[in-house]
Amino acid sequence: MKKGKDENTEEQILEAAKNVFQTKGMDGARMQEIADKAGINKAMLHYYYRSKQLLFEAVFKNVFSLLAPQLNAILNDDSSIEEKVKNFTFNYISFISKHPYLPNFIIQELNRNPEFILQMKDSKGFPNLAKFKKQVDREVEKGSIKPISAEQLFINILALNIFPFVAKPLIMAFSNVDSKVYKQLMEDRKTEVADFIINSIKNT
């Protein structure tokens, strides 16, 4: 069996490609740089993935599959809204610290080619608002949270959690803080963001 070897190379390519594509984007990425990072000949990229476009798509799907479960935690979990907001906020900020380029990569590439996400919408595990919508409507009706549509609440939760990482250079410049202070701000947000959201929607 030499399969160990192939799978290893294929995996090394994907890892290197994830690295380069996430930091440089599709247009800025260079096949040669990916090959160098993987420590193999450039022809191997085409041997295993045919073209830059297909390699990119493999990377995108792989990266996206990391994000989807995070979002499903808020959409398809069984806990209360309040619990979900607390858990999601806490976990997401930890998660993103391990994948700092992920949100920007996904957002950038989807804006470059918005049709691309349509191919993924069918795959199982793709985040979907249906269940969350029912829950929000029910809690609004019960009176435990103020009137808000599930869509707007979902947008707000994502915005407050994701945006600070996407806009890091901008925020750092405006607020005149260095990397260290910025990191502390993000650490504080693990609990502050949840409080901010809950304060806003909770009925007294």
Partner DNA sequence: AATTTTGTTAACCAAATGGTTAAACCGTAT
Partner DNA sequence: ATACGGTTTAACCATTTGGTTAACAAAATT
List interacting residues with DNA (CB under 7 A).
1-3, 5-6, 9, 29-32, 40-44, 46-47, 50-53
**Where in 136-155 is the site for a second copy (CB under 8 A)?**
146, 148, 151-152, 154-155
In the complex with DNA, which residue's Cβ is closer, 7 or 83?
A: 7
Q: What is the dihedral of CA 115, 121, 122, 128, to 10 degrees?
A: -160
Cα separation, 100 vs 20, in Å, equals 13
Sequential DSSP letters for 62-121:
HHHHHHHHHHHHHHS--S-HHHHHHHHHHHHHHHHHH-TTHHHHHHHHHHH-GGGGGGTT
Site string for a second copy, 32-71 (x = CB under 8 A): ---------------------------------------x
Site membership for a second copy, residue 96 (CB under 8 A): no
The item of DNA, a second copy, none sharing an interface with residue 66, based on CB under 5 to 8 Å by kind, is none
Cα separation, 161 vs 114, in Å, equals 22
The first and second tokens of residue 166, run together, are: 């996407």
Give the count of beta carbons closer than 10 Å to the beta carbon of residue 25: 16
Pick from 189, 3, 12: nearest CA to 86: 189
The item of DNA, a second copy, none sharing an interface with residue 117, based on CB under 5 to 8 Å by kind, is a second copy
Rule CB under 8 A: choose which of 118, 122, 124, 178 binds a second copy. Answer: 118
Q: Which amino acid, one-letter code, is at 54?
A: L
Interface residues with a second copy (CB under 8 A)? 24-28, 71, 75, 104, 106-108, 110-112, 114, 117-118, 120-121, 126-129, 146, 148, 151-152, 154-156, 158-160, 162-164, 166-177, 185, 188-189, 192-193, 196-197, 199-201, 204
